[in-house]
Amino acid sequence: MDSDPLDVPTMSALVSKLIDLRATRFQNGALFLDRDGVLNIDKGYVYRWQDFEWITGARDLIRAFNAAGWPVIVVTNQSGVARGVYDEADIRALHASVTEDLSKQGAHIDAFYHCPFHKDGVVEAYRITDHPARKPNPGMLLRAATDHDIQLERAIMFGDNLSDVDAATRAGARVFLFQAPN
């Protein structure tokens, strides 16, 4: 397994690169996706549906992996909870809206995992230094692997920053680094 991330400039480039990886040699794999900057344009603390704007091609990517029978799982740091900007109910509501929108497009996400903890949190319950679930730690991927019977060496992570790369690498998954167009 390569330890260096593979750079891809667009969602369509990712779909093209990954189409062959959907073969049976990746049985029990999964597609892990970061949220902000990969699925939606990162506007900073996106927690309301009216602020969520899909990145072009993201729904197509999800639908392609759904069609291949792969679990599609979102793993996202959400420090806005620790910072008091929004709460976990807001995250669940946004993810429910994402799910509803995807269902209209014939696609779905199998699970959402989020980490609300941050060392600089103003909400005491969420102020934790180096929480095992917070990327770059691999905790969310490890939990998802257990919950969904995923073999991480057969999984792919698609992220937009080095914390995603580090989390996937530490979990043993292949990683693709994506930069959304401005």
Q: Is 147 a catalytic residue?
A: no
Catalytic-role residue among 2, 7, 20, 34? 34
Q: Is 160 a catalytic residue?
A: no
Residue 25: other Cβ atoms inside 10 A: 9
Question: Per this entry, what is the length of the chain?
Answer: 182
Catalytic-role residue among 2, 20, 36, 120? 36
Rg of the chain on CA atoms, in Å: 15
Strand partners, 156: 31, 174
Q: What Å distances lie between residue 182 and 11, 56, 80, CA to CA?
A: 14, 12, 23
Query: Would you please indicate which residues are annotated as catalytic (active-site) residues?
Result: 34, 36
